[in-house]
Amino acid sequence: MRRLWGRLRPSLIVALPVLLLATAAAFGIEAWRMERANRTIAALEAGTDAAVSPGAPPPVLAARVAFLAKRGRLDEAEPLLSVLEAGDDRGDLARARYALANARMREAFGLLARGELDKAGPLVTLSRQDYRRALRERPDFWDAKFNLDVASRLIRDYPELDRTDGDELRAEPKKIWTDIPGQPRGGP
């Protein structure tokens, strides 16, 4: 055992400082990356546009999506959202979906204020889908639940009606329900 220790000792004396130096360098590089990501997030939240590559960490991508959504640049946010969907961070994906849904709701409210009801409907529907997707990723997301409720009250889900003959409308009996608040949904 002494002979083995005698042979390994010089190698360990040289290898240990090199190993510790490499570990310290790795931690230093990771700290630098985190600091850089935090600065980018802070700049985006402060309203300063910052370029973000698709390979950026998920929190940076979510901050960029929120930045673009607040400015109505939804077409630029969609590719970043698909990158987030491919990743493993479900919380950041939920926040990005929520920001996108809020942007669509703001646009829909603007259209509703101008009386353009036909154009507002699809935006409300898309925002409801994004709120639901955010809740699928993070079920405890209370703000998304609240906003989904507001969006659902703006435009109700009506039964699928099968229109084939002129003014006559047919629907399957199990898809019909009353939509009047306070009215019972069942038999007597």
Domain parsing of the chain, residue ranges: 51-158
Q: Provide the 3-class DSSP secondary structure of residue 46.
A: coil
**From 13-22, 87-96, 151-160, 173-182, the region with the lowest mean pLDDT:** 173-182
Q: HSE, CB side, 13 Å, CA atoms: give it for residue 151.
A: 28
Q: Which residues have a Cβ under 8 Å from the Cβ of 132 and sit 6 or more positions away?
A: 148
Q: Give the per-residue pLDDT at 170.
A: 54
Q: What is the pTM of this model?
A: 0.68
Mean pLDDT of 14-41: 86
Per-residue tokens: 169? 């409308």
Cα Rg of the chain, angstroms: 27
Per-residue tokens: 51? 């370029």
DSSP at 170: E
What is the CATH code for 51-158?
A: 1.25.40
Q: How far is CA 74 from CA 80, 135, 176, in A?
A: 10, 20, 35
The predicted-structure confidence for 153-172, as pLDDT tens digits, reads as follows 887 655 444 445 444 555 55
Per-residue tokens: 187? 């038999």
| Contact yes or no for 158/179 (Cβ under 8 A) | yes
